Amino acid sequence: MSDPAWRDSNKVELLINGESFFPSVFDAIRGAREEVLIETFILFEDKVGLELHEVLVDAGKRGVRINLMVDGYGSPDLSAQYLSELSAAGVQVQVFGARPKLLGMRTNLFRRLHRKLVVVDATDAWVGGINYSHDHLRDFGPEGKQDYAVKVRGPVVDDIRSFMLRAMAGKPARRWWRRRARWAPDPALPQSEGAQVLFVTRDNVNHRDDIEKHYRAVIRSANREVMLANAYFFPGYRVLREFRNAARRGVRVRLILQGQPDKKIMRWAAMSLYDYLLRAGVEIYEYVERPLHAKIALADEEWSTVGSSNLDPLSLALNLEANLMIRDRSFNAGLREHMEWLIDEHCQRIVSEHAHRPLIWQRVITFFVFHFLRHFPAWAGWFPAHAGKLTKIEPLRSEAPDWPGANGNVALSPREK
C-alpha cells in the first residue's frame, strides 16, 4: 500500500466528548451489515465497555465481520469472560504488546498502540482521542475528560480501512535501516465541495515523525493564527521554535493546556516551557474545569487536525498514533468557535508575571531534564523487549493458559504461543 495522500470531497463531523462519540459509533455498529474494525488504546469493562461488548456480540452473531485490537498496557484488566464472549460471537480480538507482569508491575510501558480508529462497512470512519471508558462521560464526575473525535465519510475512509486491515494482519514493516521516502507536504487540491482530508500515522519504522512534520510545516506557514488544545504538551525544540517564530512574526498563537491534569508530572513539564513561549508573545491558557484530553489544532481559516497524538515525547517518539489533517473552512470555523468558548468560559490565562522565571542554575537543570524526558522514550524503545506483537484471543477453554496481563484464562492462538 502506498502512503496516503490528500483526498478530496469528504464529509467531516466534529464529535465532542463521549456523549457525542459513543452513540455515533455504537449506533453505526448496531446497523452494520458487513464489517466493523476498531483499534483503541483503552477498553475498560465499565458501563461504556459493556455497551461496546453488547453491540459487538450482537453484530457478530448476525454475521458481521469484526476485528477489535486493543493495547496490552492501556487495556490490561479485561476479564476472560468478556474476551471469550467476544471471540465466541465471531469477533477477532487481538492484543497489542501483551506482556506478563514482573513483581506485580506491568512491563509493556513503551511502544503503545495509542490510536483510536473505527471503520464500519467501509463507509464511515472515526478518528480521535476518545477511549472506551466511563471517564469520557460527564456523569463520571469531576475527573471526566474533555476530548474530541471526528466522524468522516468519503474517499479517505479507504485509506483508513486499508491501514487498519494491514495493521490487524500483522504485516511486517520495512526495516529501519532501509532508506525512507523523503517527506514533503502534499500540495493543496483544487477547491471543491466537501473537505480535503489526509490520514497521517506515526510508527517506529517508516513514519517516525510524519505528524510532527505536519505540525511544524503548518505553524511555519501560518499567516494569521494558530490554536492548539493538547493534553500532554512537551514537544521538542523544533516545534517550540516554530511556535515562537510564528508569534514573533505577528501570528496569534494560542495554546490551551491542562490546568487540572490527570498526570501531575506532565503539567510540571509543560509549565517549564511557559516562560520560553510567553516571552515570544505566545498566549497560554489552562483549562481548569476538568482533565483535558484533547489533541486538536487549527491554523488560519482552513487547516485543522484531530487525532490521538499529543505533542509530548511518548506520542512524538514512541507510540503508534493517527491524526486526520483537514482542509475545510466550515470545519475550521466550527472548531475555532468551540476552542474560543473553552478559553472564554473554562480557562485561565497565564501571563508573564505568573510564569516562573528560572534562575541560571534552574535553567541548567531544566535543560538536562528537558532533553532526558524528551528522548528517554525513544531510547527505551530500542530494547527488543519493547517491540509490540499481536496476541490473538481465542474462545475460553478449560485447559487454556492465561494470556499475559489478562484477568482470567483465555487461550492464545497457536501461532502466538
Residues with a catalytic annotation lie at: 114, 116, 121, 293, 295, 300
Number of residues that make up the chain: 417
Backbone angles phi, psi at 155, to 5 degrees: -60, -30
> Which residue's entry shows cell 479507504?
158
In DSSP terms, which residues pair with 354 in a beta bridge? none
Half-sphere exposure for 275 (CA within 13 Å, toward CB): 12
Alpha-carbon distance of 224 to 275, in angstroms, equals: 23
**CA-based diameter of the chain, in Å?**
67
| Residue 303 β-bridge partners | 299, 327
Give burial (CB, 10 Å; 0-12/13-18/19+) of 142.
Answer: exposed
Angle at which helix 210-221 crosses helix 237-248, to 10 degrees, equals 10
Cell numbers at 323, concatenated? 491524526
C-alpha 30/C-alpha 289 separation (Å) is 34
Q: Any residues with CB less than 8 A from the CB of 126 and at least 6 apart, and which?
A: 15, 21, 24, 25, 116, 117, 118, 119, 149, 150, 151, 152
Q: What is the DSSP string of 12-26?
A: EEEEEHHHHHHHHHH
Return d(Cα 304, Cα 326) in angstroms, integer: 5
Helix (H) or strand (E) holding 28: helix 17-30
Count CB atoms within 10 A of the CB of residue 221: 14
- Cα torsion at 217, 301, 253, 16 (round to 10°)? -100
Pairwise CA distance, residues 350 & 259, whole Å:
10
Closest by CA position to 41, among listed 147, 176, 155, 173: 147
Report the distance separating Cα 184 and Cα 166, nearest Å: 24
Contact between 129 and 294 (Cβ < 8 Å): yes
